[in-house]
Amino acid sequence: MTVPILMYHEISARPDTTFSRLAVTPQAFAAQLEYLVKHGFTTFTASAIAAALATGAPLPERAVVLTFDDGFADFHERALPLLRQYGCTATLFVTTGWIADVGQHAAGRRPGRMLAWSQIIEAAADGIEIGAHSHAHPQLDQLGRKRLRAELTVSKRLLEDALGTSVPGLAYPFGYSSVAVRRVAIEAGYAYACAAGNAMASPQRDLFALPRLTVKASTGEGAFCHAASGQSLSKVYRADRMLTKGWAVVRRTRAIVTGVPVRA
């Protein structure tokens, strides 16, 4: 049994960033939720599925996890109303240094209009799981141990202080991790972590490298249905997975040559 964990970024017709290939329009997102509901899928938070994987409990049938990275303001404006309308839940991974009113803790360069604390708290009150997505969105696998530890602990603590609950979930920026990153994530008290990888989550998977399937502007109905059903990976995702692997090599080379991180 496998559970698809879908990865979204912006839900916006006119993305606030130049990385529009990841932005899914509200219309497409609504159609995807309608498909899930119509076909008897139940949405779970990533922590619920991670807990099932950790204990060996049977994974629910026709389960799917919707995750949102970065903490764009359109999650509150576009995604949350649709999730409410269709009775779906989700996990929102927030880069804490980018939060609109994070004040003195601001870190990194915001890629667009980001969520404010009140909106994150409102989403949590609605049953949305809030997870960490680091503090300044660096490539964690490129950091020294001290900075790595700070990235993973500061984001967790800020979220826990604001929400008044524990934050067991982490999503690696760009999906990048390493043995060292996963070890520090465990030490920081996380219960699970999501990567990218474009594969299904299954009991054989490492809880600290849960793979996710990217949903983006170019994800058509066919690819989405394949991803949600978990029966087989479509050619689209197979091609994507090869790109992911190839890209990692390109990125490493580029990081060495220029020192400039590449956003994904």
Instruction: By CB under 5 A, name the binding residues for Zn ion.
Output: 69-70, 173
Tell me how far, at minimum, the Cβ of 172 lies from Zn ion, in Å: 9
Q: Which residue is nearest to Zn ion (CB)?
A: 69
Query: Which one-letter DSSP state was computed for residue 86?
Result: T
36 vs 120 by CB, closer to Zn ion: 120
Tell me how far, at minimum, the Cβ of 171 lies from Zn ion, in Å: 7
**Amino acid making up residue 213:** L
**Stretch (H or E) spanning 170:** strand 169-171
30 vs 196 by CB, closer to Zn ion: 196
Whole-number Å distance between alpha carbons of 167 and 39: 31
CB contact at 8 A, 8 and 33: no
Tell me how far, at minimum, the Cβ of 183 lies from Zn ion, in Å: 21
Q: Token pair 């690819």 is at which residue?
A: 223
Tell me how far, at minimum, the Cβ of 252 lies from Zn ion, in Å: 18
95 vs 219 by CB, closer to Zn ion: 95
| DSSP string for residues in 164-197 | SS---EEE-GGG---HHHHHHHHHTT-SEEEEEE
53 vs 195 by CB, closer to Zn ion: 195
